[in-house]
């Protein structure tokens, strides 16, 4: 028995927000002081570092559970399964449902229960629950689905990564330009087909690193309503990621028994173009190998950072031929790897 991804689907929000949309923003330093540089300079530097030119935001009427459901429908259809045969629905997110204009996150009931309700699944033995694991949440959900199937308590699982980060950004924080919305879903099944999940690795670094990403106040000191926004220590995260992600990928690949030369694609969480390129460079340096051309698909330039949704959305897009000069084929070995709040790191080796 092997455990494979038999269906994928994603929801890419319709609202395209280019970098120029931030030209009139009043960006501030962490202490509330004004930047010396103009917004044009700030935005250009941002693009150079992150690679982000545009990002996607959900329409006002949508929440995280809505887009998770829309991605799930596509994955179920792609897998060609009866939704009533699903044993688990696992949804990775960070902030639950946040309605437009609201300041509260809503996770009761769970996003997974809401998705099950939207799908109109009647089977009570289809269990839904949420995963809070930062940006690596979708990979961790796949790891958990694999464990359920290996244990013999499940045959089919639906794993979703969905987020609407546009609802939790501080408009006075330059980092607000990074975040975006999206959802990606996968059906995980036990199958007799060759390939599937070969190895995985997960780790949490929470001694000095736990609060590199956190919920904090606006940089605008005149905002005294105590509303919290997503915040991060960008330099610390960069240094953490380029140190720990390549070694996690190597350990995971070595455990799989697969040679580095057999790897066809590497799907890294779309957080920052320069960071992902540095992770890839350090990973191949560990093997004393040159980086193969086109090994790392990217869509951050057009999509921004949608946290748990970046990898499943990217994988679905490549799988279905939606990214130029990128494809995956049956028998290809690919690596999924991510880093995020917690601080959590994970990697997964998968043979298509």
What confidence tens digit (pLDDT) does each residue in 50-78 have?
999 999 999 999 999 999 999 999 999 99
- Is 163 in contact with 50 (CB distance < 8 Å)? no
Report pTM: 0.94
Domain boundaries, the chain: 2-194, 198-351
- The CATH classification number of 2-194 equals 3.40.47.10
pLDDT at 120: 98
Query: Quick one: which of 263, 273, 213, 265 has its CA closest to 240?
Result: 213
Query: Quick one: which of 333, 187, 195 has its CA closest to 266?
Result: 333
pLDDT at 281: 97
Is the pLDDT reported for residue 276 higher than 90? yes
What confidence tens digit (pLDDT) does each residue in 121-152 have?
999 999 999 999 999 999 999 999 999 999 99
CA dihedral 42, 47, 49, 51 (to 10 degrees): 170
Mean pLDDT value of segment 272-286: 96
Q: What is the mean pLDDT of the chain?
A: 95
Q: What percent of the chain has pLDDT over 70?
A: 100
Highest CATH level, class, for 198-351:
alpha beta
What confidence tens digit (pLDDT) does each residue in 71-106 have?
999 999 999 999 999 999 999 999 999 999 887 899
> How far is residue 340's CA from residue 94's CA, in Å, rounded to a whole number?
11
What confidence tens digit (pLDDT) does each residue in 109-120 have?
999 999 999 999
The three-class DSSP label of residue 266 is strand
Report the alpha-carbon angle 289-291-297, nearest 5. 145
> How far is residue 318's CA from residue 334's CA, in Å, rounded to a whole number?
12
Domains 2-194 and 198-351 share a fold: yes
Tokens of 133: 């694991």
pLDDT at 272: 93
Mean pLDDT value of segment 304-325: 95
Is the pLDDT reported for residue 37 higher than 90? no
Mean pLDDT value of segment 35-41: 88
Mean pLDDT value of segment 207-213: 95
pLDDT band at 286 (very low <50, low <70, confident <90, very high): very high
What confidence tens digit (pLDDT) does each residue in 196-209 have?
999 999 999 999 99
Is the pLDDT reported for residue 224 higher than 80? no
> How far is residue 150's CA from residue 157's CA, in Å, rounded to a whole number?
12
pLDDT at 123: 97
Q: What percent of the chain has pLDDT over 90?
A: 88
DSSP type of residue 271: S
């Amino acid at each position: 028995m092997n455990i494979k991804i038999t269906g994928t689907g994603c929801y890419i929000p319709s609202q395209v927000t280019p970098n120029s949309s931030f030209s009139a923003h009043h960006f501030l330093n962490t202490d509330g002081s004004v930047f010396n540089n103009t917004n044009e300079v700030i935005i250009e530097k941002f693009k150079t570092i992150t690679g982000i030119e545009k990002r996607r935001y959900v329409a006002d009427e949508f929440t995280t559970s809505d887009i998770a459901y829309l991605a799930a429908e596509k994955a179920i259809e792609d897998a060609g399964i009866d939704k009533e045969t699903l044993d688990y629905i696992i949804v990775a997110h960070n902030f639950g449902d946040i309605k437009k204009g609201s300041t509260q996150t809503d996770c009761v009931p769970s996003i997974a229960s809401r998705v099950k309700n939207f799908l109109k699944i009647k089977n009570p033995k289809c269990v839904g629950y949420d995963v809070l694991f930062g940006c690596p949440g979708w990979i961790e959900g796949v790891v958990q689905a694999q464990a359920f199937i290996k244990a013999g308590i499940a045959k089919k699982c639906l794993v979703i990564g969905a987020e609407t980060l546009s609802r939790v950004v501080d408009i006075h924080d330059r980092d607000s330009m990074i975040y975006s919305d999206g959802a990606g879903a996968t059906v995980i099944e036990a199958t007799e087909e060759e390939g599937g999940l070969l190895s995985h690795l997960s780790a949490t670094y929470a001694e000095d690193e736990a609060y590199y990403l956190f919920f904090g106040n606006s940089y605008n000191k005149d905002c005294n309503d105590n509303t919290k926004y997503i915040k991060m220590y960008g330099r610390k995260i960069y240094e953490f990621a380029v140190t720990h992600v390549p070694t996690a990928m190597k350990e995971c690949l070595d455990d799989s028994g697969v040679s580095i030369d057999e790897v066809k694609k590497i799907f890294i969480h779309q957080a920052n173009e320069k960071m992902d390129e540095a992770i890839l460079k350090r990973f191949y340096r560990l093997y004393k190998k040159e980086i193969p051309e086109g090994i790392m698909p990217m869509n951050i330039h057009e999509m921004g950072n949608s946290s748990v949704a970046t990898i499943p959305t990217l994988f679905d897009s490549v799988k279905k031929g939606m990214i130029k000069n990128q494809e995956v084929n049956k028998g290809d070995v690919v690596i999924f790897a991510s880093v995020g709040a917690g601080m959590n790191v994970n990697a997964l080796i998968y043979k298509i």
